[in-house]
Amino acid sequence: MKILISTVTILTTFIFSGCGTTASGPFLVKQYHLNSDKKEIVIPMGSYDADMSKVSPAQNLAIIIKKSAKVLKEKNIDYFTIDALNKVPPMITNFSDLVQYCYPENEGTSANSWTAGSTSLEDKCELKIYKSTTNNDVWIKVIESKKNLQVGTWSVQEVLNDKTLNAYIQSAKLTAKNQDIAFTNIPLKTHVNLKAMRDKKAKLINDTKVIDNLN
Amino acid sequence: MKKILLSTVFSLVSMVSANEIQIFTTNTMHIALDKETKFVNIYNGTLANFYENSSKILNSKEVLSVGVNGAYKGALNTDFSANGQVNSDFASAGAIGALAGYALGSGVKWVISDNEYLSISKAINTKGEATLLQTLIVANYSISDNDIKTTGENARLKLIK
Protein backbone atom coordinates (compact mmCIF):
# COMPACT_ATOMS: atom_id res chain seq x y z
CA MET A 1 0.00 0.00 0.00
CA LYS A 2 2.81 2.39 0.88
CA ILE A 3 4.42 1.70 -2.46
CA LEU A 4 1.16 2.38 -4.25
CA ILE A 5 0.66 5.69 -2.45
CA SER A 6 4.24 6.66 -3.20
CA THR A 7 3.75 5.82 -6.86
CA VAL A 8 0.64 7.96 -7.09
CA THR A 9 2.39 10.84 -5.35
CA ILE A 10 5.39 10.68 -7.63
CA LEU A 11 3.25 10.42 -10.74
CA THR A 12 1.08 13.36 -9.66
CA THR A 13 4.10 15.50 -8.90
CA PHE A 14 5.69 14.62 -12.22
CA ILE A 15 2.60 15.31 -14.30
CA PHE A 16 1.65 18.61 -12.74
CA SER A 17 5.10 20.03 -12.27
CA GLY A 18 5.40 21.16 -15.90
CA CYS A 19 8.77 19.47 -15.94
CA GLY A 20 10.36 22.59 -14.54
CA THR A 21 10.65 24.66 -17.71
CA THR A 22 12.64 27.80 -17.30
CA ALA A 23 11.78 30.99 -19.08
CA SER A 24 14.29 32.27 -21.58
CA GLY A 25 15.62 35.79 -21.47
CA PRO A 26 13.72 38.78 -22.70
CA PHE A 27 14.19 40.98 -25.65
CA LEU A 28 12.66 44.28 -26.49
CA VAL A 29 11.80 45.86 -29.78
CA LYS A 30 14.32 48.53 -30.69
CA GLN A 31 13.97 49.29 -34.35
CA TYR A 32 13.07 47.97 -37.71
CA HIS A 33 14.45 48.46 -41.12
CA LEU A 34 12.62 48.52 -44.40
CA ASN A 35 14.50 47.43 -47.48
CA SER A 36 12.02 48.25 -50.19
CA ASP A 37 14.26 47.07 -53.01
CA LYS A 38 14.14 43.46 -51.91
CA LYS A 39 10.62 43.70 -50.53
CA GLU A 40 11.91 42.39 -47.25
CA ILE A 41 11.13 43.97 -43.97
CA VAL A 42 13.82 43.08 -41.55
CA ILE A 43 13.13 43.59 -37.89
CA PRO A 44 16.11 43.26 -35.57
CA MET A 45 15.13 42.38 -32.07
CA GLY A 46 17.31 44.94 -30.39
CA SER A 47 19.69 44.15 -27.61
CA TYR A 48 19.28 41.27 -25.28
CA ASP A 49 19.35 42.34 -21.69
CA ALA A 50 18.97 39.84 -18.91
CA ASP A 51 18.17 42.59 -16.44
CA MET A 52 14.93 43.44 -18.22
CA SER A 53 13.30 40.09 -18.17
CA LYS A 54 9.61 40.61 -18.42
CA VAL A 55 8.44 40.66 -21.98
CA SER A 56 8.03 37.09 -23.17
CA PRO A 57 9.10 35.87 -26.61
CA ALA A 58 5.47 35.24 -27.55
CA GLN A 59 4.56 38.77 -26.52
CA ASN A 60 7.45 40.04 -28.59
CA LEU A 61 6.19 38.00 -31.49
CA ALA A 62 2.87 39.83 -31.24
CA ILE A 63 4.57 43.22 -31.03
CA ILE A 64 6.77 42.58 -34.03
CA ILE A 65 4.04 41.15 -36.22
CA LYS A 66 1.76 44.06 -35.45
CA LYS A 67 4.58 46.50 -36.08
CA SER A 68 5.21 44.75 -39.38
CA ALA A 69 1.54 45.04 -40.32
CA LYS A 70 1.52 48.76 -39.54
CA VAL A 71 4.61 49.34 -41.66
CA LEU A 72 3.13 47.30 -44.50
CA LYS A 73 -0.16 49.18 -44.32
CA GLU A 74 1.68 52.49 -44.62
CA LYS A 75 3.29 51.09 -47.75
CA ASN A 76 -0.10 50.01 -49.12
CA ILE A 77 0.93 46.36 -48.92
CA ASP A 78 -1.97 44.06 -48.09
CA TYR A 79 -0.32 40.66 -47.67
CA PHE A 80 2.94 39.25 -46.41
CA THR A 81 4.68 36.01 -45.52
CA ILE A 82 6.99 34.99 -42.71
CA ASP A 83 10.48 34.20 -43.91
CA ALA A 84 10.84 30.52 -44.80
CA LEU A 85 14.04 30.34 -42.84
CA ASN A 86 12.00 30.57 -39.70
CA LYS A 87 10.45 27.26 -40.64
CA VAL A 88 6.90 28.38 -40.26
CA PRO A 89 4.70 26.36 -42.64
CA PRO A 90 2.71 28.41 -45.14
CA MET A 91 -0.48 27.00 -43.66
CA ILE A 92 0.10 29.13 -40.57
CA THR A 93 -1.29 32.54 -41.43
CA ASN A 94 -2.50 34.09 -38.21
CA PHE A 95 -0.96 34.87 -34.84
CA SER A 96 -2.98 32.44 -32.76
CA ASP A 97 -2.02 29.54 -35.03
CA LEU A 98 1.60 30.66 -35.07
CA VAL A 99 1.88 30.63 -31.29
CA GLN A 100 0.13 27.30 -30.95
CA TYR A 101 2.19 25.71 -33.72
CA CYS A 102 5.56 27.00 -32.57
CA TYR A 103 4.99 26.64 -28.85
CA PRO A 104 2.69 23.60 -28.60
CA GLU A 105 3.58 22.41 -25.14
CA ASN A 106 3.82 25.61 -23.19
CA GLU A 107 1.17 28.12 -22.33
CA GLY A 108 1.47 29.74 -25.70
CA THR A 109 -2.20 30.52 -25.88
CA SER A 110 -2.14 32.68 -22.79
CA ALA A 111 -1.40 36.32 -23.50
CA ASN A 112 0.18 37.01 -20.14
CA SER A 113 2.12 33.78 -19.90
CA TRP A 114 5.75 34.40 -19.33
CA THR A 115 6.66 30.84 -20.25
CA ALA A 116 5.19 31.09 -23.74
CA GLY A 117 7.96 30.73 -26.23
CA SER A 118 10.64 29.42 -23.98
CA THR A 119 13.04 26.50 -23.93
CA SER A 120 12.90 23.85 -26.65
CA LEU A 121 9.75 25.19 -28.23
CA GLU A 122 11.70 27.78 -30.16
CA ASP A 123 13.40 24.97 -31.98
CA LYS A 124 10.29 23.95 -33.85
CA CYS A 125 10.07 27.21 -35.78
CA GLU A 126 13.65 28.29 -35.16
CA LEU A 127 12.47 31.50 -33.60
CA LYS A 128 15.81 31.72 -31.90
CA ILE A 129 16.74 34.19 -29.26
CA TYR A 130 19.83 35.96 -30.45
CA LYS A 131 22.14 38.14 -28.51
CA SER A 132 22.94 41.12 -30.63
CA THR A 133 26.66 41.21 -31.21
CA THR A 134 26.88 43.01 -34.53
CA ASN A 135 23.57 44.91 -34.59
CA ASN A 136 22.69 42.88 -37.66
CA ASP A 137 20.97 39.99 -35.99
CA VAL A 138 17.60 39.24 -37.53
CA TRP A 139 15.08 37.46 -35.44
CA ILE A 140 12.12 37.55 -37.73
CA LYS A 141 11.70 38.66 -41.28
CA VAL A 142 8.45 39.35 -43.06
CA ILE A 143 8.22 39.62 -46.80
CA GLU A 144 5.81 41.53 -48.96
CA SER A 145 3.55 39.18 -50.82
CA LYS A 146 0.47 39.06 -52.95
CA LYS A 147 -2.36 36.76 -52.14
CA ASN A 148 -2.43 33.79 -54.42
CA LEU A 149 -4.45 30.66 -54.72
CA GLN A 150 -1.81 28.08 -54.00
CA VAL A 151 -0.03 29.33 -50.90
CA GLY A 152 -1.32 31.02 -47.77
CA THR A 153 -0.36 34.59 -46.90
CA TRP A 154 -0.88 36.80 -43.89
CA SER A 155 -3.41 39.58 -44.33
CA VAL A 156 -2.27 42.95 -42.98
CA GLN A 157 -5.83 43.95 -42.15
CA GLU A 158 -6.53 40.67 -40.37
CA VAL A 159 -3.40 41.16 -38.27
CA LEU A 160 -4.42 44.69 -37.32
CA ASN A 161 -7.86 43.44 -36.24
CA ASP A 162 -6.54 40.32 -34.48
CA LYS A 163 -7.93 40.28 -30.92
CA THR A 164 -5.61 37.53 -29.74
CA LEU A 165 -2.56 39.38 -30.96
CA ASN A 166 -3.75 42.60 -29.35
CA ALA A 167 -4.25 40.79 -26.05
CA TYR A 168 -0.59 39.77 -26.09
CA ILE A 169 0.46 43.34 -26.78
CA GLN A 170 -1.69 44.70 -23.96
CA SER A 171 -0.09 42.18 -21.67
CA ALA A 172 3.37 43.18 -22.88
CA LYS A 173 2.59 46.83 -22.22
CA LEU A 174 1.69 46.04 -18.64
CA THR A 175 4.80 44.01 -18.00
CA ALA A 176 7.04 46.58 -19.66
CA LYS A 177 5.60 49.36 -17.50
CA ASN A 178 5.89 47.28 -14.38
CA GLN A 179 9.48 46.63 -15.29
CA ASP A 180 10.07 50.35 -15.65
CA ILE A 181 8.85 50.89 -12.09
CA ALA A 182 10.96 48.01 -10.85
CA PHE A 183 14.01 49.47 -12.52
CA THR A 184 13.65 52.88 -10.86
CA ASN A 185 13.50 51.15 -7.49
CA ILE A 186 16.90 49.54 -7.86
CA PRO A 187 19.01 50.84 -4.95
CA LEU A 188 22.12 52.75 -5.93
CA LYS A 189 25.41 51.16 -5.08
CA THR A 190 28.79 52.75 -5.02
CA HIS A 191 30.15 50.69 -7.89
CA VAL A 192 27.21 51.37 -10.18
CA ASN A 193 28.05 53.22 -13.34
CA LEU A 194 25.49 56.00 -13.15
CA LYS A 195 25.81 57.00 -16.78
CA ALA A 196 25.29 53.43 -17.94
CA MET A 197 22.30 53.20 -15.67
CA ARG A 198 20.78 56.42 -17.04
CA ASP A 199 21.35 55.18 -20.59
CA LYS A 200 19.75 51.91 -19.71
CA LYS A 201 16.71 53.62 -18.25
CA ALA A 202 16.39 55.90 -21.27
CA LYS A 203 16.50 52.88 -23.52
CA LEU A 204 13.87 51.11 -21.45
CA ILE A 205 11.55 54.10 -21.55
CA ASN A 206 12.05 54.34 -25.30
CA ASP A 207 11.25 50.66 -25.69
CA THR A 208 8.10 51.10 -23.66
CA LYS A 209 7.05 53.97 -25.92
CA VAL A 210 7.56 51.73 -28.92
CA ILE A 211 5.11 49.28 -27.42
CA ASP A 212 2.69 52.09 -26.51
CA ASN A 213 2.72 53.38 -30.05
CA LEU A 214 1.50 50.10 -31.40
CA ASN A 215 -2.07 50.68 -30.25
CA MET B 1 -8.89 2.27 -0.96
CA LYS B 2 -6.73 0.21 -3.26
CA LYS B 3 -9.29 0.47 -6.03
CA ILE B 4 -9.45 4.24 -5.68
CA LEU B 5 -5.69 4.54 -5.83
CA LEU B 6 -5.44 2.16 -8.79
CA SER B 7 -8.11 4.05 -10.71
CA THR B 8 -6.28 7.28 -9.95
CA VAL B 9 -3.08 5.81 -11.35
CA PHE B 10 -4.84 4.63 -14.50
CA SER B 11 -6.55 7.97 -15.03
CA LEU B 12 -3.26 9.82 -14.60
CA VAL B 13 -1.52 7.48 -17.03
CA SER B 14 -4.34 7.93 -19.53
CA MET B 15 -3.95 11.71 -19.21
CA VAL B 16 -0.29 11.43 -20.11
CA SER B 17 -0.91 9.26 -23.14
CA ALA B 18 -4.01 11.07 -24.41
CA ASN B 19 -4.22 11.61 -28.13
CA GLU B 20 -3.79 15.24 -28.98
CA ILE B 21 -4.28 17.02 -32.24
CA GLN B 22 -3.71 20.55 -33.50
CA ILE B 23 -5.56 21.94 -36.50
CA PHE B 24 -4.53 25.03 -38.48
CA THR B 25 -6.41 26.20 -41.55
CA THR B 26 -5.50 28.90 -44.01
CA ASN B 27 -7.84 30.43 -46.57
CA THR B 28 -5.42 31.36 -49.32
CA MET B 29 -7.60 33.97 -51.03
CA HIS B 30 -9.01 35.38 -47.77
CA ILE B 31 -12.57 35.22 -49.10
CA ALA B 32 -15.77 34.82 -47.09
CA LEU B 33 -17.38 31.41 -47.24
CA ASP B 34 -21.17 31.22 -47.17
CA LYS B 35 -23.53 28.33 -46.52
CA GLU B 36 -23.85 27.58 -50.23
CA THR B 37 -20.09 27.25 -50.69
CA LYS B 38 -19.09 24.24 -52.73
CA PHE B 39 -16.03 22.20 -51.83
CA VAL B 40 -13.77 19.96 -53.88
CA ASN B 41 -11.30 17.67 -52.13
CA ILE B 42 -7.81 18.15 -53.52
CA TYR B 43 -5.42 16.33 -51.18
CA ASN B 44 -5.54 14.33 -47.97
CA GLY B 45 -2.28 12.82 -46.79
CA THR B 46 0.97 13.37 -44.99
CA LEU B 47 2.68 16.73 -45.04
CA ALA B 48 5.93 15.08 -46.12
CA ASN B 49 4.28 13.54 -49.17
CA PHE B 50 2.65 16.87 -50.00
CA TYR B 51 5.97 18.70 -49.96
CA GLU B 52 7.43 16.10 -52.30
CA ASN B 53 4.55 16.41 -54.73
CA SER B 54 3.37 19.97 -54.11
CA SER B 55 4.00 21.20 -57.63
CA LYS B 56 1.92 18.42 -59.12
CA ILE B 57 -0.86 18.83 -56.57
CA LEU B 58 -1.08 22.61 -56.70
CA ASN B 59 -0.95 22.69 -60.48
CA SER B 60 -3.58 20.01 -60.87
CA LYS B 61 -6.60 20.60 -63.06
CA GLU B 62 -8.85 20.58 -59.99
CA VAL B 63 -6.92 23.44 -58.43
CA LEU B 64 -6.33 25.58 -61.48
CA SER B 65 -9.76 25.34 -63.05
CA VAL B 66 -11.37 28.74 -62.51
CA GLY B 67 -14.45 29.37 -60.46
CA VAL B 68 -17.88 30.24 -61.81
CA ASN B 69 -16.81 33.72 -62.85
CA GLY B 70 -13.08 33.13 -62.87
CA ALA B 71 -12.69 35.14 -59.70
CA TYR B 72 -9.18 33.99 -58.89
CA LYS B 73 -7.82 34.08 -62.39
CA GLY B 74 -6.26 37.45 -61.69
CA ALA B 75 -4.43 36.13 -58.67
CA LEU B 76 -2.84 33.37 -60.68
CA ASN B 77 -1.86 35.71 -63.46
CA THR B 78 -0.35 38.12 -60.97
CA ASP B 79 1.86 35.63 -59.27
CA PHE B 80 2.90 33.41 -62.10
CA SER B 81 4.55 34.10 -65.39
CA ALA B 82 3.15 32.63 -68.59
CA ASN B 83 5.12 29.41 -68.23
CA GLY B 84 3.89 28.86 -64.71
CA GLN B 85 7.14 29.77 -62.99
CA VAL B 86 7.28 31.78 -59.84
CA ASN B 87 7.86 35.44 -60.55
CA SER B 88 11.26 36.91 -59.83
CA ASP B 89 10.17 38.99 -56.85
CA PHE B 90 9.25 35.95 -54.87
CA ALA B 91 12.29 34.04 -55.99
CA SER B 92 14.77 36.80 -55.20
CA ALA B 93 13.31 37.39 -51.79
CA GLY B 94 13.63 33.73 -50.94
CA ALA B 95 10.04 33.92 -49.91
CA ILE B 96 7.55 31.17 -49.48
CA GLY B 97 5.51 32.89 -52.13
CA ALA B 98 3.76 30.69 -54.66
CA LEU B 99 5.40 27.36 -55.37
CA ALA B 100 8.76 28.51 -54.13
CA GLY B 101 7.31 27.84 -50.73
CA TYR B 102 7.40 24.15 -51.37
CA ALA B 103 10.49 23.88 -53.52
CA LEU B 104 13.00 23.22 -50.81
CA GLY B 105 16.40 24.52 -51.69
CA SER B 106 19.34 26.43 -50.29
CA GLY B 107 19.47 24.14 -47.32
CA VAL B 108 16.02 25.13 -46.15
CA LYS B 109 14.10 22.24 -44.68
CA TRP B 110 10.67 22.39 -43.22
CA VAL B 111 10.29 20.92 -39.80
CA ILE B 112 8.07 17.93 -40.40
CA SER B 113 7.18 15.65 -37.57
CA ASP B 114 6.09 12.07 -38.13
CA ASN B 115 2.45 12.80 -37.56
CA GLU B 116 1.84 15.95 -39.56
CA TYR B 117 -0.83 15.83 -42.19
CA LEU B 118 -2.49 18.11 -44.69
CA SER B 119 -6.01 18.32 -46.02
CA ILE B 120 -6.60 20.61 -48.99
CA SER B 121 -9.90 21.47 -50.57
CA LYS B 122 -10.98 24.08 -53.05
CA ALA B 123 -13.93 26.19 -52.03
CA ILE B 124 -16.13 28.27 -54.32
CA ASN B 125 -18.65 30.61 -52.72
CA THR B 126 -21.90 31.84 -54.22
CA LYS B 127 -20.14 34.85 -55.73
CA GLY B 128 -18.01 32.42 -57.72
CA GLU B 129 -14.89 33.34 -55.78
CA ALA B 130 -12.53 30.43 -55.27
CA THR B 131 -9.94 29.70 -52.64
CA LEU B 132 -7.88 26.83 -51.31
CA LEU B 133 -8.44 25.75 -47.73
CA GLN B 134 -5.27 24.14 -46.45
CA THR B 135 -5.66 22.41 -43.10
CA LEU B 136 -2.45 21.43 -41.36
CA ILE B 137 -3.01 18.64 -38.84
CA VAL B 138 -0.40 18.04 -36.15
CA ALA B 139 -1.06 14.97 -34.03
CA ASN B 140 0.83 12.92 -31.48
CA TYR B 141 -0.43 9.72 -33.05
CA SER B 142 -0.86 8.27 -36.51
CA ILE B 143 -4.14 9.01 -38.27
CA SER B 144 -5.64 7.47 -41.40
CA ASP B 145 -6.27 9.22 -44.71
CA ASN B 146 -9.97 9.01 -44.02
CA ASP B 147 -9.53 10.73 -40.66
CA ILE B 148 -7.42 13.41 -42.34
CA LYS B 149 -10.23 14.03 -44.79
CA THR B 150 -12.86 14.16 -42.05
CA THR B 151 -10.74 16.52 -39.96
CA GLY B 152 -10.24 18.79 -42.95
CA GLU B 153 -13.96 18.79 -43.73
CA ASN B 154 -14.82 19.68 -40.14
CA ALA B 155 -12.23 22.47 -40.12
CA ARG B 156 -13.54 24.04 -43.30
CA LEU B 157 -17.11 24.00 -42.02
CA LYS B 158 -16.01 26.23 -39.15
CA LEU B 159 -15.06 28.90 -41.68
CA ILE B 160 -18.57 29.20 -43.03
CA LYS B 161 -20.38 32.32 -41.83
Determine the pLDDT at residue B25. Answer: 96
When pLDDT is cut at 50, 70 and 90, the band that residue B150 belongs to is very high
Determine the pLDDT at residue B111. Answer: 52
pLDDT tens digit sequence for A143-191: 778 888 888 899 999 999 999 888 887 877 776 555 543 333 333 333 3
Which element (helix H / strand E) includes B74? helix B73-79
d(CA B96, CA B110): 11
Chain B contact present for A6, CB below 8 A:
no
Mean pLDDT for the stretch of residues A7-20: 46
Q: Name which of B1, B101, B135 is nearest A90 (Cβ-Cβ).
A: B101
Least confident of A17-21, B28-32, B82-86: B82-86
Strand blocks (E) in chain B: 21-27, 38-46, 116-124, 130-139
CA B42 to chain CA centroid, Å, is: 10
User: In the predicted model, is pLDDT for residue B114 greater than 80?
Assistant: no
Determine the pLDDT at residue B159. Answer: 93
Per-chain mean pLDDT for chain A? 59
Chain B contact present for A204, CB below 8 A:
no
Chain A CB contacts of B94 under 8 Å are 83-85, 143
Domain residue spans of chain A: 17-212
Determine the pLDDT at residue A111. Answer: 52
Which element (helix H / strand E) includes A155? strand A154-155
Chain B: give the shortest CA distance to residue A192, in Å: 46
Q: b vs e for B83-122, b when ≥16 Cβ sit within 10 Å of the residue's Cβ?
A: eeebeebbeebbbbbbbbbbeeeeeeebeeeeebbbbbbb
d(CA A154, CA A90): 9
Query: 3-state class of A152 per DSSP?
Result: coil
Pick B23 or A70 by higher pLDDT.
Answer: B23
Which positions ≥6 away from A20 have C-beta within 8 Å?
none
Contact B78 A92 (CB under 8 A): no
In 3D space, the residue among A43, A28, A23, A59 whose CA is nearest the CA of residue A170 turns out to be A59
Q: Name which of B9, B47, B138 is nearest A11 (Cβ-Cβ).
A: B9
Pick B9 or A82 by higher pLDDT.
Answer: A82
Most confident among A173-182, B39-48, B112-121 (mean pLDDT): B39-48
Contact A15 B24 (CB under 8 A): no
pLDDT tens digit sequence for A137-153: 435 667 778 888 888 89
Chain B CB contacts of A7 under 8 Å are 9
The verdict on ipTM greater than 0.85 is no
Contact B2 A150 (CB under 8 A): no
